[in-house]
Amino acid sequence: DAGVIQSPRHEVTEMGQEVTLRCKLISGHNSLFWYRQTMMRGLELLIYFNNNVPIDDSGMPEDRFSAKMPNASFSTLKIQPSEPRDSAVYFCASRAKRTGTEAFFGQGTRLTVV
Amino acid sequence: GNSVTQMEGPVTLSEEAFLTINCTYTATGYPSLFWYVQYPGEGLQLLLKATKADDKGSNKGFEATYRKETTSFHLEKGSVQVSDSAVYFCALSAQVSGYSSASKIIFGSGTRLSIRP
């Protein structure tokens, strides 16, 4: 199994530009989490999908952030417009059908907004 | 609400020393508990887990016991190695209010561990 695949691994963009981060889940997994990691705030849960439906988006910072699951194996996190304070490492993680089991993380996307 | 509090770092030890990283949690119901490890430039990897009270998770010499009475899940290792240097995260899987079959995973702030040769 290839594991959770994120792209791109690194993204540098200018303030005001749209940024799209991508995530491919492990085959057969039905839960998807997006996290943001910074030195100041640690690892924050942004949004959680279960069976393609957003269950908890209370961690999404503001309307500039949006996330979708167009199908069961793929998700995007979009920031529009981007700001320097969005600079962070963004992780997605997927989990198998049973609740209470662990999530498997991708390698992350390091986003720098200049 | 649901939360995880873990020992602040950084923690620096000599090789072969005993390690404890404290973790306590607040949760409704009966969460599953996890320790994850993150090496530089990588994503998080599951180190061990426990799904019910008194369960002991173990892996690679690390252990943690699910203590419901003290709401704790402390990570221990008897003899650390330089290769154990990483950031360690305690986490719980908490049911989402209003969804009986959905649970989100919440992480503590992480503890950076450095081992001196």
Is the pLDDT assigned to residue B17 strictly greater than 90?
yes
A30 contact B CB<8A: no
Cβ–Cβ below 8 Å for B102 and A45? no
User: In chain B, positions 8-47, which contact chain A (CB-CB < 8 Å)?
Assistant: 31-32, 34, 36, 42-46
pLDDT band at A8 (very low <50, low <70, confident <90, very high): very high
Calculate the average pLDDT of chain A: 93
CA angle A18/A62/B90 to nearest 5° reads 105
A55 contact B CB<8A: yes
Among B93, B70, B89, B2, smallest CA distance to A42 is for: B89
- CA–CA min distance B107, chain A (Å): 7
Cα–Cα distance for residue pair A49/B56, rounded to 1 Å: 29
Tens-place pLDDT, residues A66-113: 999 999 999 999 999 999 999 999 999 999 876 568 999 999 999 999
Within chain B, what is the greatest distance between any pair of CA atoms?
Answer: 50
Cα–Cα distance for residue pair B53/B33, rounded to 1 Å: 10
Q: Which long-range contacts (CB under 8 A, 24 or more apart) does B62-65 make?
A: B62/B35, B64/B23, B64/B33, B64/B35
pLDDT at A98: 66
Among B77, B60, B59, smallest CA distance to B19 is for: B77
**Which amino acid would we find at residue B38?**
Q
Partners of A35 on chain B (C-beta within 8 Å) are: 107
Cα–Cα distance for residue pair A46/A35, rounded to 1 Å: 5
Which of B103, B108, B110 lies at the smallest CB-CB distance from A100?
Answer: B103
Percentage of chain A modeled with pLDDT above 90: 81
Give the strand pairing for B11-14 and B111-116.
Answer: parallel
- Give the 3-state secondary structure of residue B95: strand
**Which amino acid would we find at residue B87?**
V
Partners of A107 on chain B (C-beta within 8 Å) are: 42-43
Among A109, A62, A112, smallest CA distance to A87 is for: A112
A59 contact B CB<8A: no
Tens-place pLDDT, residues B38-73: 998 889 999 999 999 999 999 999 999 999 999 999
Is the pLDDT assigned to residue B98 strictly greater than 80?
no
Is the pLDDT assigned to residue A41 strictly greater than 70?
yes
> Which residue bears the tokens 């939360």?
B3
The larger pLDDT score, comparing residue A51 to residue A99, is at A51
**A32 burial via Cβ count (<10 Å: 0-12, 13-18, 19+):** buried
